[in-house]
C-alpha cells in the first residue's frame, strides 16, 4: 500500500513539473518576443553615451594601453550588434575577444569613456535587422549562459 501511495505521489509530482516546465517555456518565449519588439522600436539615435566619447579600439595606437596589442576593429556600417560584455579591464576584453574567436565568432571591441571612466564594449556581429541579432543573442545565451543583449551600432 505504501509503495502504491509513493508511486501515486511521484506521478502527481511529475505531472505538476511538466506543467510548470511548459508554463516556463511559454513565459520565456513571451519575454523574448517582447524584448525583440522593444529593441526593434528603439530609434538608432537613442544613445545613453555621448557618441563623441566613443571610439573604435584599434582605430589608433593611443586607444589601447601602452605595451599591449590593439583590439579587433568593428565592422563598417550601421546596424544591430550583440554585446556580450562591457568591462574596464583592457586585458579582460582581449581575453574575451580571443575566447570568442576560438569559438568561431568574429568579435570586436569598442572603447568608450563615460564620466572619465574607460570601458571596453565587447560585441559580435553587424546585422541589418533586429531579428538576426536576436537569433545570435539567443544562441550565445543558450550555449554560454552569458548576459548578452542587442544594441545599435554606428560608424
Q: What is the pLDDT of residues 58-86, one digit of tens each?
A: 433 344 444 344 577 788 878 999 999 99
pLDDT at residue 150 in the model: 96
Determine the pLDDT at residue 3.
58
Q: Which residues of the chain have pLDDT under 70?
A: 1-70, 155
pLDDT computed for residue 52 by the predictor: 35
pLDDT at 24: 55
Q: What is the pLDDT of residue 112?
A: 87
DSSP 73: P
- Is-contact 143 82, C-beta < 8 A? no
Q: Quick one: pLDDT at residue 130?
A: 95
Residue with cell 502527481: 12
| Dihedral over Cα of 41, 126, 51, 98: its sign | positive
pLDDT value at residue 77: 79
Q: What is the pLDDT of residue 86?
A: 94
Cα–chain center distance at 38 = 15
Amino acid at each position: 500500500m505504501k509503495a502504491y501511495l509513493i508511486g501515486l505521489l511521484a506521478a502527481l509530482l511529475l505531472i505538476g513539473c511538466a506543467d510548470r516546465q511548459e508554463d516556463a517555456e511559454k513565459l520565456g518565449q513571451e519575454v523574448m518576443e517582447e524584448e525583440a519588439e522593444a529593441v526593434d522600436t528603439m530609434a538608432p539615435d537613442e544613445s545613453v553615451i555621448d557618441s563623441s566619447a566613443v571610439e573604435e579600439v584599434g582605430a589608433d595606437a593611443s586607444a589601447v594601453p601602452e605595451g599591449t596589442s590593439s583590439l579587433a576593429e568593428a565592422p563598417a556600417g550601421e546596424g544591430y550588434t550583440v554585446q556580450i560584455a562591457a568591462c574596464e579591464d583592457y586585458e579582460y576584453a582581449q581575453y574575451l575577444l580571443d575566447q570568442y574567436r576560438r569559438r568561431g565568432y568574429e568579435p570586436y571591441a569598442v572603447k568608450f569613456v563615460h564620466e572619465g571612466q574607460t570601458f571596453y564594449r565587447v560585441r559580435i556581429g553587424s546585422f541589418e535587422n533586429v531579428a538576426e541579432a536576436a537569433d545570435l543573442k539567443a544562441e550565445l545565451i543558450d550555449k554560454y549562459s552569458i548576459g548578452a543583449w542587442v544594441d545599435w551600432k554606428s560608424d
